[in-house]
Amino acid sequence: MNTGESVLTNVQIAFEFQGAKRVLNKNPRVQQELRDGKITVAEALLEPWTIRLSVADDTGKKSQKIFTLSADDNIAQAQAKSYIKGNGTTKFEQFLKAESTKRGESLGTLAAEWEKLNMPDAAQHPRDDRARDNLKTFLDAALEFWKDKIPGTINEVMMNQFATWRRNKCKENGRGTGDRSIDLELGALSCLCDWAKSMGKIDKNPFAERKKFQRSKDVTHCHEFMPDSDEQWHDVLRWCFTRVSNQAEKRKSTGEKLIAQDALYTLRLRVIGGYLAFCGLTGLRPEEPVMLYRLAELKEIPGNPIKLKPGTVFPLATGERKMRVERNKNGQNKFVKLHPALADFLTHWGQWLDSTFGVSEIARPWFPNPEKPSEPLFADMDFTPLIRRLSEACEACGAHRMKPKGFGRAFYVRVRRSQGEDDATIAGELGQTTNGQLIRTTYGNPEDMAGGALFDWLPKEGPAAWQILSSNAATNITAVKFNTK
């Protein structure tokens, strides 16, 4: 068994510089936690390196100081050598300030180190997986512009230049004004700089007092982008479930590559249609169904449903059925009820999945990537295809422009209001703890508190859109059946 000292030798870097042996160590706090067995060597190696130097003040009096370096071995050694050389100057404090600007720690370099440490906050608490994923999305987008910028050189003019750049990008992609993206991306950079400042890597967070670019009067809400009726909702879904790409025919081509592209586009459109339908039937945000897998339906009441894997269907003592789901933004309710329309959709959707991708004993996503059925669609969290296909469907159906959250979450709210539920109850179903405030301000039309003229999830005439999918399902496929109580 290793002693405390022998363990610590695993987290040291020894090197020679200017004829002397130098040693990099981890922070004394980290060393003590390692001795006590509170952290592993692997965890300790994720912490920044430090070097102890004897530094003279203006009066010539010397004292020992610890300087924090990068967690990356090579970068830390380069920084240490720079500090050692600078320590020979008469004005070391000025040298340190100049060094923090010129030593090359751009936002891109800081971000790489921050991610290696699990993106901790200013108090050095690592963020959980979901918080990191959410933050990384905006950080990566921002770094496309900011990665080479050095914090000490950033000013308001540069932020305005970024705002112009982002707005032009959004305009090119047809994704709104870009103002909300600007605020979210600058917020992610501010989190990065809060951490860098707490580690002594920068003197000031240049984004701390940033202005807001999105004006309150320009904010649009989800209810402005939802269907006008349940018939319109089904019209859009039918287009997704029946549209067939025919680029090969249009180009009079028999090339296998183009034919394969047509087939792949069609399959993706079917999965996107199922994705949109599921969001409208459950109220989940577009990013939440990504990791739901088709698992064996439980026949017995589980002891602790929260421990079930997302996508699992299970019974309650009341005879109802629920599905374990995932939510982001600290959503509290990890379940959705299988009301009759949702249960019917899952039955037909399951038939289509089995007839299209085959029956498998291995759990597969409820909404698979047609190219890799064992992986979920939108695993990369890029929902651009979802937005574009919905826009195409709306145009083809003669409907106004809709967005995924409007087509799904806002539509769910309108249906539930029409069924007589109050906003606080609906908020609970969506995993919110706002007692209905977000329902009233964002997802539900404040001028239509009762949900309009009897909205529901089924069309007034004819079968539901999803029933088209299983009409030609292979007869030898046994569909998954769901209790509709």
CATH number, residue 185: 1.10.150.130
Cα separation of 295 and 217, whole Å? 45
Same domain, 227 and 209: no
Among candidate residues 72, 103, 134, the one where a domain is terminated? 103
Residues 281 and 183 in one domain: no
In a domain, residue 485? The reply is: no
**Is the domain of 282 the same as that of 227?**
yes
pLDDT band per the 50, 70, 90 thresholds, residue 476: very low
The pLDDT value recorded for residue 374 is 93
pLDDT tens digits for range 121-141: 888 888 877 678 878 989 999
The whole-model pTM stands at 0.58
Per-residue confidence at 215, pLDDT binned at 50, 70, 90? low
Q: What is the CATH number of the domain that holds 253?
A: 1.10.443.10
**Same domain flag for 398 and 253:** yes
Q: 416 and 328, same structural domain?
A: yes
- Is residue 218 predicted with pLDDT exceeding 50? no
Domain end call among 219, 250, 268: 219
Number of domains in the chain: 3
Q: What pLDDT score was predicted for residue 441?
A: 54
Share of the chain above pLDDT 90, in %: 35
Give the range with max mean pLDDT: 86-95, 106-115, 207-216, 417-426.
106-115
Ranges 108-117, 171-180, 369-378: which has the least confidence: 171-180
Among the candidates 219, 243, 261, a domain finishes at 219
Same domain? For 125 and 182 the reply is yes
pLDDT digits (tens, 9 = 90+) for 55-95: 776 666 777 888 878 777 887 888 888 888 777 655 666 66
Assigned domain for 484 exists = no
- Distance between CA atoms of residues 447 and 458, nearest Å: 24
Give CA–CA dist 386/348, Å, rounded: 21
Determine, yes or no, domain membership for 32: yes
Domain extent, residue 355, equals 222-472
Same domain, 47 and 173: no
Q: Return d(Cα 364, Cα 373) in angstroms, integer.
A: 7
Q: Is residue 121 part of a domain?
A: yes
Q: Residue 478 domain-assigned?
A: no
- Mean pLDDT computed over 163-185: 83
Helix (H) or strand (E) holding 13: strand 13-17
Question: CA 293 to CA 309: how far, in whole Å?
Answer: 8
- pLDDT category at 145 given cuts 50, 70, 90 is very high
Same domain, residue pair 115 and 88: no
Residue 211 and residue 247 in one domain = no
Is residue 482 in a domain?
Answer: no
Q: What is the pLDDT of residues 11-50, one digit of tens each?
A: 889 988 888 888 998 888 888 888 888 888 887 887 778 8
The answer as to whether 481 is a domain residue is: no
Question: Is residue 477 a part of any domain in this protein?
Answer: no
Structure tokens, 405: 């959250």
One domain for residues 124 and 90:
no
370 and 404, same structural domain?
Answer: yes
User: Quick one: 95 and 128 in the same domain?
Assistant: no
What are the E-state strand segments in 180-311? 293-294
**Which helix (H) or strand (E) covers residue 329, if one does?**
none
